[in-house]
Amino acid sequence: MFSLSELEAALSLVHDCFPGTPQYAWPLLAERCGTEVWVKHENHTPTGAFKLRGGLIYVERLRRERSHVRGIVSATRGNHGQSLAWAGRRYGIPVTVVVPHGNSAEKNAAMRAFGARLVEHGDDFEMARDEAARLAASEGREFAPSFAPDLVKGVATYSLELLRAAPPLDAVYVPIGLGSGICGAIRVRDLLGLKTEIIGVQASGAPAYARSFEDGRVVVLNRAETKADGVAVRQPDPDAFAIIRAGAARIVTVSDEAIADAIRAYWTDTHNLVEGAGAVPLAALLAERERMVGKRVGLVVSGGNIDLKLFRTWVLQQPV
């Protein structure tokens, strides 16, 4: 894992590219939740999601240490791929992204706009990841995983911003996809010597980490059924799980209905449009409202990249 000085260097590199993101205490959210709430707005990065931070650190090191790399191949449901495409364009490295069939049309368009070659393969993230590894090997390119030390260090910079800028927080709710965000939050909390509880959140239809946390071992699921594509993962990363098991207070699961309610709450209370994965922390806090009364709580809005069609049908419940 990384030291505080290494994290500071990563934060400096991130701030060379964009000026970080804000954290605000929204009064209407406080009324709704019954406690003081600080929202970390990772939906305000240049790609609309926290993953950009990890992509920058990963690609910058690759360019520095392996200047003749032919390109990067990775798999994604959207935000990780956008981060690599954005960073690849900045550092002059071609990026190929493999997505499952039926992936977010708007995230696909964004990845192409940032310069990525897009390949569609398989029915879910795990199938797309297997194809990305095969493609990287056959083309002699670098396979970029979705969980790696550089990625964790990069995304940990948002937790450093949050925990330094906000008043002392009793707890921070963090969404879990493959785990880089919550692992970074745990590490920053420990580096700063804080007692803040780090609470993971997953969709109840994709509870791989929650089940693993409960059983004390990695549990692989057959399905990940949720409209919140950023947390639609059925196979935990073993390294991420080890960090989460040692450092998280608990993992909360929330229904897609509760996630849709949270997206609507963010819009009405803050006028921010939030994607499903970014809304799961608020859904969890609302589910634990009585438990958290009187505490100061942080919520990570990990991204705002939700398709308009999905927003209409899922969140607004309008007919197609």
What are the tens digits of pLDDT across the range 131-149?
A: 999 999 999 999 999 899 9
pLDDT given for residue 125 in this prediction: 86
Percent of the chain with pLDDT over 90: 93
Q: What is the mean pLDDT of residues 263-292?
A: 98
Is 80 exceeded by the pLDDT of residue 320? no
Task: Collect all residues with Cβ–Cβ distance below 8 Å to 253 and sequence separation of at least 6.
Answer: 201, 202, 203, 204, 207, 210
Residue 88 to residue 41: CA distance in whole angstroms:
24
Give helix 180-191 / helix 238-247 axis angle, nearest 10°: 40
Is 80 exceeded by the pLDDT of residue 67? no
Helices (H) and strands (E) in the chain, counts: 14, 10
pLDDT given for residue 173 in this prediction: 99
Please give the domain boundaries of the chain with CATH numbers for all domains.
4-50+149-315 (3.40.50.1100), 51-144 (3.40.50.1100)
319 pLDDT tier (thresholds 50, 70, 90): confident
pLDDT digits (tens, 9 = 90+) for 105-131: 889 999 999 999 999 999 988 899 999
Of 238, 317, 241, 227, the closest CA to residue 280 belongs to 227
Number of residues assigned to the chain? 320
Kindly tell me the sign of the dihedral angle through the C-alpha atoms of 135, 136, 137, 138.
Answer: positive
Side by side, the strands of the sheet bearing 95-99 are 117-120, 95-99, 72-75, 142-144
Is 80 exceeded by the pLDDT of residue 231? yes
Is 80 exceeded by the pLDDT of residue 98? yes
193 pLDDT tier (thresholds 50, 70, 90): very high
Q: What is the mean pLDDT of residues 239-248?
A: 98
Task: Pick from 62-66, 163-167, 222-226, 309-313 the range whose average pLDDT is largest.
Answer: 163-167
Q: What is the mean pLDDT of residues 213-232?
A: 95
pLDDT given for residue 17 in this prediction: 96
pLDDT given for residue 284 in this prediction: 98
pLDDT given for residue 78 in this prediction: 85
Q: What is the mean pLDDT of residues 140-163?
A: 96
